[in-house]
């Protein structure tokens, strides 16, 4: 055989061998992935999800709240028994072996009686001993849980979460106790508006794990069985699950709970401003770059920290044609040297990194001039004052009654703190028993 032909055959053999090895490696890798998936979702009678659920289920509780019916102020029943005390369901989890239970503020707010039920069916009354309405966190203390084996959860570091991480939600949707749902972390760092209080909860976890009324206050758990968040709200037009749920990050719980145990309250740092993301349209109107980033300050609360530091709200003036123009404006571009582009960035930075009494430096573009202002943070006032946030990009709709040309402050999405499911009234027929 000619030498060149021999070399050619050797080359073909080497390439074939290499491709065969790659195919074997690919098949082996695929089989490993298959084994991992089978282990996660179930193979025979065993799965990772089974193990996680079994390790955490005794730490999760059902919270039944009773409310005084205004139509029956004395708590009386009519002759037919048709007017029982209203009852609703929520969820919670064990914090420590002293009987502290963590749940949402909105789960127990205004309740006249609270009953905590464990996975084994044991029930105890409980009292609210600490609340943080702005963070939607409350802690309960069990009344005389003598003999109950309390299994505290392990709180994880939620800052380690990444989009795509698998998570589990355990709770009592619609009063169906010990329900497990599974999903992923859809996004992190969301700002959750609370129209009732006027403030927002920053750095919230978004998940597609099913969360429904009754899940509120239950834990969001990673595959190690550690709590990474507390299920709190859903995005829905109907009040039921639509694929987008929200959980308060565990780092907030870790930061806030010790103060609630010690003093019953928690003070959030407050700057006292309202503002919105600077749109490209407005940036060009102000003579700035198309993608200039910053928070346009609309209003400053009188005598608040920002006002005392010298931050100004917008000054708007009408011309002889009846058109409104922004004459003076402050745009926050940095806080403590860190760039900001949304009001979310400011709220999140303060809530995570600062406390009441701390000083912050605001770098401000004031009509084209950069100035640095130092503010001392106060506690949020008892009466809620708005800190307005822009949840999405402004569109190009022209609104003649606004001072912003081609600018619209978007409506907030319909975020809901799920209504707690009502207890079944006597006489109603249900197609199942529990």
Instruction: Give the CATH number for residue 178.
Output: 2.40.10.10
136 is an active site residue: yes
Write the burial class of residue 76 (CB in 10 Å: 0-12 exposed, 13-18 middle, 19+ buried). Answer: exposed
Q: Does 17 map to a domain?
A: no
156 is an active site residue: no
Local confidence band at 315 (pLDDT 50, 70, 90 cut-offs): confident
The tokens for 72 are 């029956």
Q: Does 180 map to a domain?
A: yes
12/394 Cα distance (integer angstroms):
61
Q: Average per-residue pLDDT in the chain? A: 78
Q: Does 275 map to a domain?
A: yes
216 is an active site residue: yes
Min mean pLDDT across 114-123, 311-320, 385-394 is at 385-394
The tokens for 181 are 């749902």
Catalytic option among 59, 91, 132, 136: 136
Does residue 15 surpass a pLDDT of 70?
A: no
The tokens for 12 are 């073909």
Min mean pLDDT across 264-273, 283-292, 381-390 is at 381-390
> Which of 85, 110, 142 is at the close of a domain?
142
Domain tally, the chain: 3
pLDDT in tens, 319-362: 666 666 677 889 999 999 999 999 889 999 999 999 999 999 99
Q: Does 205 map to a domain?
A: yes
Q: Does 246 map to a domain?
A: yes
* CATH number of domain containing 294: 2.30.42.10
Does residue 386 surpass a pLDDT of 80?
A: no
Catalytic option among 59, 106, 268, 279: 106
Q: Does 12 map to a domain?
A: no
The reply to whether 246 and 341 lie within a common domain is no
Catalytic option among 186, 216, 274, 279: 216
Does residue 277 surpass a pLDDT of 80?
A: yes
| Residue spans of beta strands (DSSP E) within 67-199 | 87-94, 100-103, 113-117, 123-132, 137-142, 166-171, 179-193
The reply to whether 129 and 187 lie within a common domain is no
The reply to whether 128 and 165 lie within a common domain is no
Q: Does 40 map to a domain?
A: no
The reply to whether 163 and 251 lie within a common domain is yes
Q: Does 421 map to a domain?
A: no
The reply to whether 259 and 287 lie within a common domain is no
pTM of the predicted protein model: 0.73
The reply to whether 305 and 213 lie within a common domain is no
Q: Which residues neighbour 152 within 8 Å (Cβ) at sequence distance 6 or greater?
A: 59, 94, 95, 96, 97
**Counting runs of H as helices and runs of E as strands, what totals does the chain give?**
7, 23
The reply to whether 134 and 176 lie within a common domain is no
Q: Which domain holds residue 340?
A: 269-379
Min mean pLDDT across 32-46, 55-69, 133-147, 263-277 is at 32-46
């Amino acid at each position: 055989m000619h030498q060149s032909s021999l070399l050619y055959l050797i080359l073909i053999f080497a390439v074939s061998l290499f491709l065969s090895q790659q195919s074997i490696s690919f098949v082996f890798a695929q089989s490993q992935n298959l084994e991992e998936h089978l282990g996660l979702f179930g193979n025979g009678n065993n799965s990772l999800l089974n193990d996680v659920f079994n390790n955490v289920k005794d730490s999760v509780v059902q919270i039944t709240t009773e409310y005084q019916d205004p139509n029956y102020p004395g708590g009386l029943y009519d002759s037919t028994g048709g007017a029982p005390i209203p009852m609703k369901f929520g969820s919670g989890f064990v914090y420590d072996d002293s009987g502290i239970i963590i749940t949402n503020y909105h789960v127990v707010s205004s309740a006249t009686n609270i009953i905590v039920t464990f996975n084994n069916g044991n029930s105890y009354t409980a009292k609210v001993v600490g609340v943080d309405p702005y963070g939607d966190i409350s802690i309960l203390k069990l009344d005389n849980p003598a003999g109950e084996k309390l299994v505290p959860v392990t709180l994880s570091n939620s800052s380690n979460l990444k989009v795509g991480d698998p998570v589990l939600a355990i709770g009592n949707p619609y009063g169906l106790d010990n329900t497990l749902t599974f999903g992923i972390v859809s996004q992190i760092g969301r700002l959750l508006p609370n129209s009732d209080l006027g403030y927002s909860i920053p750095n919230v976890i978004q998940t597609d794990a099913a969360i429904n009324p009754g899940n509120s206050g239950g834990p969001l758990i990673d595959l190690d069985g550690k709590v990474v968040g507390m299920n709190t709200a859903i995005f829905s037009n109907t009040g039921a699950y639509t694929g987008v749920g929200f959980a308060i990050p565990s780092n907030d719980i870790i930061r806030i709970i010790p103060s609630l145990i010690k003093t019953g309250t928690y003070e959030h740092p407050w700057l006292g401003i309202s503002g919105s993301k600077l749109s490209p349209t407005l940036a060009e109107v102000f003579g700035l770059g198309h993608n200039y980033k910053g928070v346009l300050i609309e209003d400053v609360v009188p005598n608040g920290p920002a006002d005392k530091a010298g931050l100004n709200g917008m000054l708007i003036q009408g011309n002889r044609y009846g058109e409104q123009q922004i004459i003076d404006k402050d745009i926050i571009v940095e806080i403590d040297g860190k760039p900001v582009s949304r009001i979310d960035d400011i709220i999140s930075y303060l809530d995570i990194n600062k406390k009441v009494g701390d000083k912050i430096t605001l770098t401000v573009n004031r009509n084209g001039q950069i100035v640095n202002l130092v503010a001392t943070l106060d506690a949020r006032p008892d009466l809620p004052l708005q800190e307005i946030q822009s949840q999405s990009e402004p569109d190009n709709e022209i609104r003649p009654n606004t001072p912003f040309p081609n600018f619209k402050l978007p409506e907030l999405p319909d975020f809901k703190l799920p209504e707690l499911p009502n207890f079944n009234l006597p006489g109603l027929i249900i197609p199942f028993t529990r």
